[in-house]
Amino acid sequence: MRILHTADWHLGRVYHGVSLLEDQAQVLDELVALIHSEKPDAVLIAGDIYDRSVPPAEAVRLLDDTLTRIVIGERVPVIVIAGNHDSPDRLGFGARLLSEAGLTVRGTVTADVAPVILRDGDGEVAFYPLPYAEPSMLRHCLAEESIADHHAGLRAQLNRVRALHDPSRRSVVLAHAFVIGGTASESERPLSVGGSGAVGSDVFDGFDFVALGHLHRPQALEGGRLDYAGSLMKYSFAEAGHGKSVSLVDIDGRGQTSIRRLPLAPRRDLRILEGSLEDIVHRAAGDPRRDDYVLARISDTGAILDAMSKLRTAYPNALSIERPQLSGSGAGLEAGTDHRKVETQDLFASFYREMTGAALGEQAGQLLHAEIAALSETDREAAR
C-alpha cells in the first residue's frame, strides 16, 4: 500500500506580521500535483492543520478546497487528526458525513479508536487515528487516574488499540506527539508547560508504521517505522537551512516500510543574509530570489537611519534585521556598582563595551570627553 504522509500545515500562519496564506496555497497546489502523479492509496495528515484554534475564514476555505481536490478530484481517501494547534470540535465538524465521501477527520479523543480499514492486493490495512489530547482529557475520557503525562496517555490509548487489533491486518497509527529522539526546531509550540511533553518510542511497539506530526523537520526514527513528515513550509528563520517535503511510504504485504521524501518548493523561501547592509543591498542585483522572505544579519556597528526601508529597496519581502555586533556580549560594570558614583565618561564607555563587545577606541574616547566637557560648560552657564 502506498501512503502519502504530511503534517503541520499551520494554515493561516502569520510571521513577522505577514500572512503566509498565499504561499501555503501554492505549496498545496504542489501537494495535489504530487498526489496526482504518485497515485497513493491514502493521504495522512498528522495534525496542526490550522495555526490556531480559531482560524481565519480564508484558511478554512483553503482547507476545504484542497481536501475537495484530493478526495473528490483525485479520488484518494484522506485521514486527518487534530494537533495541539487545532480546535478538536471545529476541525471535526461534520466528520460522520464526510467519512461517507472518503474523508476521515478525528478531532476529539474517544475511549475506543475505531480503525479506518483500507484494502490493497496484499489484504487489509487498519489505520488508527489518534488526535492530540492533553493528559487531563485522557484521564477523564479513558477513566484512568494514573495518566500523569503524555507518555502515559498515549500508552493507555495504544494498549486499547492493541487489545482490539486484528493481527491479520497490517497496522498504521497517526499521532501528534514529541517522540524522544526527534529533533525539534524553534517554530513548534511546546506540548507541555511545567512538565514533560515527550513520549518514548516504545509506546508504538507492534505497529507497522507510525505517521507523526508536531516536529517540523522531516525525520525518521527506528529505521523509518516512525516518521515525521515535517511542516508544509518553513515557519521560522531557525529552519532556514531545512528542506521541506512530504513522505511517500510504501508498505509491503509483510508490513515492511520504505520512505521516499518528495521535496516541496515554496513560492518564496525563508533565508538569512549576512554582511554589511550596503553589501547585502548591492548583492541583491544578482540575486534571482529577491522576493524571498529574508532576515538580514548585518555586521554594521554604527548608526543606520531607517535600515529596514533601505533593505526593502533590494528585498521587498524582508521581514527582520539582526545586528549581532550590538548583541550585548561585552562585559559591563560590576554587579552592585553605584551608577551615581561613576564618571559619565566611564559610564558611557562601560555601556559601549557591554553593547558592542569592544572597548571604546582612543579617538572616540577623546570625542566623547570633548562632548561631555561642552555639555558641562553649557550646564554651568545656564545655572549662573
Q: Average pLDDT for residues 60-81, to the nearest whole number?
A: 96
pLDDT tens for each residue of 106-119 = 999 998 899 999 99
pLDDT for the residue numbered 337: 52
Number of other CB atoms surrounding residue 163 within 10 Å: 8
pLDDT for the residue numbered 324: 82
More confident residue, 112 or 207: 207
Q: What percent of the chain has pLDDT over 70?
A: 89
| Structure confidence at residue 330 as a pLDDT band (50, 70, 90) | very low
pLDDT over 90 at 375, yes or no? no
| Structure confidence at residue 193 as a pLDDT band (50, 70, 90) | very low
What length does the chain have? 384
| Structure confidence at residue 195 as a pLDDT band (50, 70, 90) | very low
pLDDT for the residue numbered 364: 81
Q: How many CA atoms lie within 13 A of 43 on its CB side?
A: 28
More confident residue, 13 or 323: 13
| Structure confidence at residue 293 as a pLDDT band (50, 70, 90) | very high
| Structure confidence at residue 190 as a pLDDT band (50, 70, 90) | low
Number of other CB atoms surrounding residue 372 within 10 Å: 14
| Structure confidence at residue 373 as a pLDDT band (50, 70, 90) | confident
Q: Average pLDDT for residues 142-165, to the nearest whole number?
A: 92
Q: Are 146 and 167 in contact (CB under 8 A)?
A: no
Lowest mean pLDDT among 5-19, 163-177, 185-199, 209-223: 185-199
pLDDT for the residue numbered 302: 80
Q: How far is CA 294 from CA 49, 320, 330, 360, in A?
A: 25, 7, 28, 32
Residue whose C-alpha cell reads 485522557 in the numeric block: 138
Q: Minimal CA–CA distance to 69: which of 102, 97, 47, 96?
A: 102
Mean pLDDT rounded to a whole number for the chain: 88
pLDDT for the residue numbered 76: 97
pLDDT for the residue numbered 224: 92
In angstroms, rounded to a whole number, what is the distance separating the alpha carbons of residues 288 and 280? Answer: 14
Residue whose C-alpha cell reads 513522505 in the numeric block: 247
More confident residue, 270 or 339: 270
pLDDT over 90 at 20, yes or no? yes
Q: Are 174 and 44 in contact (CB under 8 A)?
A: yes
Q: Average pLDDT for residues 39-62, to the nearest whole number?
A: 95
pLDDT for the residue numbered 383: 52
pLDDT for the residue numbered 354: 59
Question: What is residue 24's three-state secondary structure?
Answer: helix
In angstroms, rounded to a whole number, what is the distance separating the alpha carbons of residues 271 and 267? Answer: 13
Lowest mean pLDDT among 100-104, 130-134, 216-220, 363-367: 363-367
| DSSP type of residue 115 | P
In angstroms, rounded to a whole number, what is the distance separating the alpha carbons of residues 165 and 132? Answer: 21
pLDDT for the residue numbered 351: 72
pLDDT for the residue numbered 194: 41
Q: Which of 92-101, 218-227, 341-350, 366-375 has the highest mean pLDDT?
A: 218-227
Strand 245-251 and strand 257-263: the pairing is antiparallel
pLDDT tens for each residue of 232-275 = 999 999 899 889 999 999 999 999 999 999 999 989 999 999 99
